[in-house]
Amino acid sequence: MADYDIVIIGGSPAGRYAAAIAAKQNATVALVETNLPLYGRTAVRPYDSQLPTPDSLSYIGQLARQWEKMGNFGLRSSHGNAIDDCQLSIQWNRIMHWAQNVQSNLAEENSPAVLAALGVDFILGQGKFVAQPNLGFVVNNRCLAARKYLIATNPRPIVPAIEGLAATGYLTATEVFSSLTSPNPPKRWAILGGDPNGCQLAQTLARLGLDVTLIVQRLHILPREDLEIAQLLQAILEAEGVRVLTNTTVTQVKGIEGKKWIQADREAMEFDEIVLCAGQQPELEQLNLAAVGVKTQRDRLRLNQKLQTTNSHIYACGDAIGGYQFAHIANYEAKIALHNALQNALFSFHYQVDYRNIPWLVCTDPPLARVGFTVAQARQKYDNDVFVLQRYFKTLAIAQIRDEMTGICQLVVRRNGTILGGAIIGSQAGELINLIALAIAQKLKIDAIAALVSVYPSWGEILAQTASEYLSTPLRRRNWLQNFLVRIGCEVW
């Protein structure tokens, strides 16, 4: 007989979110978390950490940028000096206090106390799956039996196999803030990897007056984005003083007289600190998955569209799956996995993951947001039946008023007006992309976006302006019957 309806393994935000959702559905739930050291470093659980995330740290960089813009208008401080003549003095203790408040407020929603009040059994310890005599999860010498299991572990950073890196030492993205608050903070920073965290940190550190070099082994930063979008963001970083080295391989790291030397291709560079932002991978090794028939491939779980592993009783979500770490995507996966795991056996309906209408955001300034297909993905699937519509933010009145003209809106559509995806770099990109995601989810045609009337002046105008480019394309000039068929969802060739 099962002790629980579901046992959730891992203290990631998605794991705690799943525990809360399951408990509210009157399921019996156990949540197993661990805080054991991870490969010689302390494992930091996002909900327990009192350090700012890269997203919140980027907010400090945005404030520094606003300070600079105020100085451009000749605004003066209370001391009578022009703001741009004043030295930017950062009170790190105040920032730390602010960060602690933010983190504690966010953590409270699904804290151990709240989960316990919902009826969740909160268990702290390192555990593993066992197959005999029946499938179970053993932790603290206790075997937890459940109808289903959900793996929602925290990830660990990918550590490149670089000679001397481990011996010389490095920081992860979540450890940067503590280094900045030290008595003698580093001045010259090397960031290895061009994932979202790397781009955010590079810009933030540069805005705080530090020397930053971003070293990327791939051809461009953010390899999941189209080259044009990635290059625009790279240009923004470089304009703010970040040195970006793409297609560059780090072969050796060495500590010399208190400095950290990096050999990158033929160039040797001296830094005070190194930050790893080369992505993350699931932490699965301790779970004894092979013994219970859970297969992996390239250090990733093999899952079907129901987020079910090769053992039908075990599911996974969030960071345990791998890929970019976005909280809203992890929560979406948790809902899908929970529904499929907890459904009544009498019903066969299952939810399947569909990422095509789920947007994500890289918190640079301006931010980058995307949903659906990239241009390359769309052309690979639909060949020449793809239009790329673009509009630059400098055409917007609000962009000129706010002096935030850097940006582009890109929409990817088919000949019949079906919206395949969108990418936006610019102010309020995170809010604008939600409308494109809604249009894709509701199967709206590009005509509906073109017909959108936004208030003036507003950032939303960029969507209608971009979509209107479709109306002027030669293939869009159809007769009234063709237009009518497109509007009712028929293919027109």
- List residues forming the annotated binding site for FAD: 127, 319
Instruction: List the binding residues.
Output: 127, 279, 319
State the Cα–Cα distance between residues 484 and 469, nearest whole angstrom.
Answer: 19
Instruction: List the binding residues for NAD(+).
Output: 279
State the Cα–Cα distance between residues 472 and 484, nearest whole angstrom.
Answer: 17
Bridging pattern class, strands 188-192 and 211-215: parallel
- 183: preceding bond cis by omega (within 30 degrees): no
Q: In what order do the strands lie in the sheet with 4-9?
A: 121-124, 29-33, 4-9, 146-151, 314-316
Do 464 and 451 contact (CB within 8 A), yes or no?
yes
Do 157 and 172 contact (CB within 8 A), yes or no?
yes
State the Cα–Cα distance between residues 226 and 370, nearest whole angstrom.
Answer: 10
**Residue 253 φ/ψ, nearest 5 degrees:** -130, 135
Nearest to 422 by CA among 359, 483, 478: 359
State the Cα–Cα distance between residues 265 and 260, nearest whole angstrom.
Answer: 16
Do 425 and 408 contact (CB within 8 A), yes or no?
yes
State the Cα–Cα distance between residues 160 and 198, nearest whole angstrom.
Answer: 15
Specify the amino acid at residue 250. V
Strand partners, 296: 301
Angle formed by the axes of helices 429-441 and 461-471, nearest 10°? 50
